[in-house]
Amino acid sequence: MYLASRLLLGLLFLGGAAQKAIDPAPVQMLLGLAGLPSALVWPALAFNLIAGVCLLTGPHVRLWAVLLALYCIATSFFHLLLPDAWRVTIFVKNWAIAGGLLAVAEVERLRQA
């Protein structure tokens, strides 16, 4: 189950990297709405790609899981638009993904103890 969790979570972030590479405009729009430079899509893409690969392949899984959890929490606020139920659902899903990543980090801590 643990490896399946890492696989599914890692693939989620690799998919996010692919989405940003294929069509960066939606992310750039969210960044612009937040008053941030749209060029931040590229570091976000790189982070998604590197972190997803590391979550899958194993180097420093605990560190990457924690960093990805923080990333999910931080980026969730781009979706917090209370009148829009779909965006609120994305906000909540990001927090749920962060919880799964923190569970992976805890399993790694226990495995290293």
Q: Please give the Cα distance from 33 to 75 (Å, whole number).
A: 13
By the 8 A CB rule, do 45 and 91 touch?
no
Res. 63 pLDDT band, cuts 50 70 90: very high
The tally of domains found in the chain comes to: 1
Domain of 92?
2-112
Q: Please give the Cα distance from 86 to 75 (Å, whole number).
A: 15
Q: Please give the Cα distance from 105 to 65 (Å, whole number).
A: 6
Supply the pTM of this predicted model. 0.92
By the 8 A CB rule, do 77 and 35 touch?
no
Average pLDDT, the chain: 94
Residue 87 pLDDT greater than 90, yes or no = no
